[in-house]
Structure 1
């Protein structure tokens, strides 16, 4: 849904072994930074607010230099203006680079908050740049720890700056530190999700995946060329043939022309975010050896089986399956095929309406600008509308209104290829309070009933609504449930601080509800009419 914003994406590329030529870099070792915008374009689904890169070039005064701008990758790197794009590529040419696309989980949408973050220093091993994907659950604790150090000051309200200061503090001293040891010690302080790419003025690169493996990170090497990216598709489209997912707690170090792999945190139970497969990731990606497309297709087969079991909607010539574009399409196609129904694009998405353009409009206008119901397809039909998830429901309500009023559908039955979202995410997804979520308003326990789904359908003004059960997620991704983070659908968090924050949030929500109930029950003072009434 448009209500659920993507996380950030990170990328790294490095040309090893002197002047050896790679077929993937025909312009030579010193020009591998030209590949970074291409990589970031394939990660654009993970963040559209800003894009940037830091490059390393020992032959220029600015050994490490960072370029970043607000906007999409095309806008930030001026890719629609060949002359301007070429000037950027020349200025920031080098044999190594890290890159980032941003969605703001915290902090305003300004260039100052765009990544990578660069910390300049006269000492080359203390001059570094980094970008990260995720969110530190113990951010408040870390902020206090930094501010307790003598003379430290924070200028931004985000975890990126806090992380930068922790890294800088770990690099203090008169000799280059062991970078593996640096991040091993930091791992003991950080709680949450933090995939990271790091590049310093010595030309050292670090790529690491957090100990729980909450979010994906893939790597590949082809001859002298090494690359890493949040999703496999960014590496495959460059021409890498052997792409693998990094292990949780794995760190790759490039130093002195050599590449080595290390474990920077003790091995522990993984907790891969299941949302990566059902919503966030590019459908062409493979994450932790599981295809995103096949996982979404499996969700559709589960929906088809549920439809057969429930028998709520007649399967006849008037029934069609319609996906909410784009992430609902794979599930919708698989469901329709299993039921012998047509899967049709009854909703067309305008992919050229930027977020900035629609930001100031109201909810109905935003949906009208973004989606066009096809009356020729929908009129008089019984629509099985396939949605990937429901978070706040406000966009879905507007969408159902347009499908009925503008599209002329006679019935709309919402089928959700995900269990109900009942708890916030503290690891980088833009949903941080229980009160903003749709499902908890109706659910008395964590197990959803038919009656509760009927009440939800009435609220949405749908003819019916059904979610997938919680246990379907692990089956469809084909990973054991204990290896997945399903906190937002179970309330069970994989890290200690995540669980603590949830308990605090539940207490806050309960107190707010009690206060609202008390206020509503208080007798209102009588209206006293004046003499002139």
Structure 2
């Protein structure tokens, strides 16, 4: 993605089902769980670049000993810094101590059977260490201690926050993370108290009641009650002080979660390949957590996947497949190739099937897999052309002519490369823009001046600013006759509210194109009419709100919006003709049939809160407010 956006946290949870001594004997280290957690986070580093955190819980620790340990970091090398801080505790130990799991558990932090890790990519501007997960809710009762980490965003924080206040709580801040922590924490307290009230009259001591709570705490019931009004996309992982653990996924399956279990370990992660690589597993060994379900691991090792919310129609985030997730997942790799392949006909039509004078490339590196798919499609099309030429010549085909036909191939080159990340400390706008223009560089001497068309594949175009300020400017120095920008994703038209930092309408180049088209065609009154409809629904129940922006896009066909986008991203005075080709929503659904969440492209939000967010984002645009469309 040439326009960088903030997105997608990552989680990793491990439960060791055997005593620590088992892993020391089998794997040669008492730090097996800690090492595996570190690897899981490293393999998902694409998911979070603001900070990282981890926590551990020790099982069956005597009162008076520390059993919960947590560390977080927002250093520039946050992941290395995080585990350096953790391993500092073991730096000066003797070989005998390092090889004594029980001694380590009794005397050192971070040596526990339950481990939770998190990579943070915040949608809020505050990136201090206090915003890093896991969040901890402390209590002197072991069963009421709660650690939570997740990949989520809720659309109705105001509503949930008010419920907490009405319950008598006094939350320290209004954010979805704190709200989720306190919401789950409230019902955890309630469930613990319910069990205590149930068993105490039977004459059990408080210590015996604790043991009964460990065994009978109903995590499914707890999560059902806590999540009843959650509206958003989420995967929430939690550890409870005595040793229960859970991972809860939203009813539409918007955010991803995968797990593996055997007789010695349970592991959960945001991405399947991370589990495959770290534990050397086959793809078939790993399960996807069902939407609306929770994976629950009890203190005694019982594992279950249970329904906590009524599942909605599947709307797994398609951006996971296009861009966010690592491409070493087999299915994602093939889907990205298919996204590129499907653009073949449009691209060939735009370059008039002129293979001789067209050079194909991609930018940035994340578009490489889709580019392979496009090249396969181009090669197949060219083979058809070769076959027709050969068949038409028939017996008159001479060897030298045959050799010339067979030598035809698409001109695939690495033309645009990203230079080292630059920081500019110059205050004036003109100088800053001049510096930004050089973020990318090009390979000279490959494109024939004023004859060749340059086709550049991007995996998605959000704002178009990098195209305008850098890529097209620098690519034009190759002096092509024409530059065709191809996006393997559809036009991003609507804000996201489920964990991706795309919430302001004015930042989408597709929306800016729509506004310009409405004004040019004397239809700008439709903007004001849509604004009035949004305002009229502002205080309606979220279930009753409709997306009022969709009708504006219906005024123009897809290609007309693409052509206007091409005008917007074209720098002033640029010589080559600029064209922009987008994947269609239908093409996306064909390439990624299982991840059909496409609300940022189609405006079809999977939860009621989505329509409230898009309308609020539109109101903010019309009123000139530079604010997110959700809290």
Q: Do both share a fold (TM > 0.5)?
A: yes
1:107 Cα deviation (Å)?
4.7
The 3-state SS of whatever aligns with 2:159 is helix
Structure 1 residues 486 and 132: alpha-carbon distance in aligned structure 2, compared to 1, 3 A threshold? same
List per-residue Cα deviations over 1:443-497 (Å, max 9, x = no partner).
3524644333222212212621111111111100133xxx722111111111111
Q: Give a deviation string over 1:174-214, Cα, whole Å, max 9, x none.
A: 33442111111122121001101111211111112111100
Conserved in 1, the CA contact under 8 Å of 2:71 and 2:86? no
Cα distance change, pair 152–394 in 1 and its aligned pair in 2 (3 A): same
**Match for residue 273 of structure 2?**
233
3-state SS, counterpart of residue 189 of structure 1: coil
Match of 2:493 in 1: 422
SS of 1:32's partner is helix
Look up the match of 1:248. Answer: 291
Distance 1:82 1:253 in 2: 27
Q: Distance in 2 between matches of 1:306 and 1:20?
A: 61
Deviation at 1:142, TM superposition (A): 1.6
Contact 2:342 2:377 in 1 (8 A): no
SS of equivalent to 1:270: coil
The superposition leaves residues 228-265 of structure 1 with CA deviations (integer Å, 9 ceiling, x where unpaired) of 10001110111233112111012111111221221111
Residue 166 of structure 1: which of 158, 179, 183 is its match?
183
Q: Which of these residues, 473, 476, 479, is aligned with residue 588 of structure 2?
A: 473
- Bigger radius of gyration, 1 or 2? 2
Match of 1:333 in 2: 372
The residue matched to 1:219 in structure 2 has which SS? strand
Counterpart contact for 1:107–1:113, Cα < 8 Å: no
Aligned residue number for residue 316 of structure 1: 355
Q: Which residue of 1 aligns with 2:403?
A: none
Q: Is contact 1:373–1:402 with CA below 8 Å preserved after alignment?
A: no
Q: Specify whether residues 136 and 367 from structure 1 end up closer, same or farther in structure 2 by C-alpha distance, changes over 3 A only.
A: farther
- TM-score, normalised on structure 2? 0.73
Q: In the alignment, what sits opposite 1:348?
A: 417
Distance in 1, matches of 2:413 and 2:25, equals: 39
Distance 1:194 1:407 in 2: 45
2:396 aligned residue = none
In the other structure, the counterpart of 2:453 is 382
Structure 1 residues 243 and 407: alpha-carbon distance in aligned structure 2, compared to 1, 3 A threshold: farther
More helix by percentage = 2
CA contact (8 A) 1:7 1:133 kept: yes
1:225 to partner: Cα distance: 1.3
Structure-to-structure mapping, 1:444-483, within 5 angstroms: 445-446=553-554, 448-461=557-570, 463-479=578-594
3-state SS of paired residue (1:153): coil
8 Å contact 1:137–1:426 — kept in the other structure?
Answer: yes
Contact 2:235 2:255 (8 Å CA) reproduced: yes
* Residue pairs, 1:88-237, within 5 angstroms: 91-155=109-173, 157-173=174-190, 174=193, 175=196, 176=213, 177-237=217-277
Q: Could you tell which deviates more after superposition, 295-304 or 403-412?
A: 403-412
Aligned-pair CA distance for 1:29: 6.4
Are residues 1:492 and 2:496 paired? no
Tell me, which stretches of 5 or more residues in structure 2 are unaligned?
A: 93-103, 197-212, 380-409, 515-551, 571-576, 626-631
- In structure 2, relative to structure 1, the CA distance for the partners of 1:202 and 1:409 (3 Å cut) is farther
User: Which residue does the alignment assign to 1:68?
Assistant: 72
* Native 8 Å contact 2:493 2:601 kept in 1: yes
Matched with 2:322 is 278
How many residues are aligned here?
499
CA separation of 1:23/1:299 partners in 2, compared to 1, >3 Å: closer, same or farther?
A: farther
Deviations 1:131-179 (A, max 9, x none): 0102001112222222344351323x53111111111111124334421
Q: RMSD over aligned Cα, in angstroms?
A: 2.9
Matches of 1:360 and 1:20, distance apart in 2:
58
CA distance in 1, matches of 2:82, 2:478: 39
Partner of 2:442: 373
1:293 maps to what in 2?
Answer: 333
Q: Measure the CA separation in 1 of the matches of 2:426 and 2:336.
A: 33
- 1:259-270 equivalences under 5 Å are 259-270=303-314
Q: 1:396 to 1:23 in 2, by over 3 A?
A: farther
Question: Scaled by the length of structure 1, what TM-score is found?
Answer: 0.86
Structure having the larger proportion of residues in strand: 1
